[in-house]
């Protein structure tokens, strides 16, 4: 894992977007996994600005959504689906046939995970996976546990995830999520890990200790051969 300390959130977003665009211009990106939340928002905003000047860079791009809150309607403003459509698909003009997504209110969540897995297997491997770091070390809804699933799965949310700022705004409080698995992430050719946010000093310290444990899922990224980790230094204060 290549660690890059950034002065602040803006520099983190700039460096991550520059890395992404460098690969995009080299025609080495076709299939991208996107996380939601505050951590990558600045990066996506910069990608939109680049699209407005060079839309040709993005014409072949396909997107897969990393995860989704279980039980929410797709049009719920707090859903990952809403976020991806408004901050990524529309700004970058990604067509529906170039988008893979969990349906959050599917009648059978495991069947839905199997459907998404089959699409990833057909389109993959993922070229770049953009991730954020949860306060308990989770990535997507791959929560701390003794056993971590390889493929797309339904995961019970930890107390940390249930107290996420997005959940505070929800009328319906989910207790599970749908997410890609570690196998999907590890098959990615490149991972961009964005580390920012309040009250993450301890989990960042644990991540940087290079001690690998399933109780801190992000620590397993040390085993991947191509991870760029951009740390907002203001998160260390």
Q: How confident is the model at residue 169 (pLDDT cuts 50, 70, 90)?
A: low
pLDDT of residue 51: 97
pLDDT of residue 72: 86
| CATH class entry, domain 2-133+150-236 | alpha beta
pLDDT tens digit string along 170-226? 666 788 999 999 999 999 999 999 999 988 999 999 999 999 999 999 999 999 999
pLDDT of residue 27: 81
Expressed in percent and rounded to 5, the helix, strand and coil fractions of the chain are 40, 20, 40
- The residues annotated as belonging to the active site are 67, 136, 138, 143
Contact predicate 194/133, CB 8 Å: yes
Provide the mean pLDDT of the chain: 93
pLDDT tens digit string along 53-87? 999 999 999 999 999 999 888 888 889 999 999 99
pTM above 0.85, yes or no: yes
For the chain, the structural domain boundaries read 2-133+150-236
202: left (phi over 0), alpha (psi -120 to 50) or beta: alpha
Return d(Cα 123, Cα 133) in angstroms, integer. 26
Which strands, in side-by-side order, build the sheet including 227-232?
Answer: 2-6, 227-232, 190-195, 128-132, 31-34, 62-65, 99-100
Sign of CA dihedral 47, 51, 54, 59: positive
Query: What is the mean predicted confidence (pLDDT) over 85-112?
Result: 94
- Whether residue 142 is predicted with pLDDT greater than 90 in this model: the reply is yes
């Amino acid at each position: 894992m290549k660690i890059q300390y950034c002065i602040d959130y803006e520099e983190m977003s700039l460096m991550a977007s520059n890395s992404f665009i460098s690969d995009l211009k080299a025609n080495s990106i076709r299939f991208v996994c996107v996380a939601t939340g505050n951590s990558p928002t600045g990066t996506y905003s910069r990608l939109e600005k680049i699209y407005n000047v060079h839309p040709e860079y993005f014409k072949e791009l396909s997107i897969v959504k990393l995860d989704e809150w279980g039980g929410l309607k797709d049009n719920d403003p707090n859903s990952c689906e809403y976020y991806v459509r408004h901050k990524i698909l529309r700004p970058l003009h990604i067509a529906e046939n170039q988008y893979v997504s969990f349906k959050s209110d599917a009648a059978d969540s495991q069947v839905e995970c199997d459907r998404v897995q089959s699409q990833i297997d057909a389109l993959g491997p993922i070229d770049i996976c953009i991730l954020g770091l949860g306060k308990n070390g989770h990535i997507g809804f791959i929560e701390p546990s003794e056993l971590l699933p390889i493929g797309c799965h339904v995961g019970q949310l930890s107390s940390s995830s249930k107290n996420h700022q997005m959940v505070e705004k929800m009328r319906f409080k989910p207790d599970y999520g749908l997410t890609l698995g570690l196998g999907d992430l590890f098959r990615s050719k490149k991972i961009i890990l964005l580390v920012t946010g309040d009250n993450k000093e301890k989990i960042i310290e644990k991540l940087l200790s290079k001690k690998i444990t399933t109780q801190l899922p992000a620590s397993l990224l040390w085993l991947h051969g191509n991870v760029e980790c951009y740390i907002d230094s203001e998160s260390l204060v």
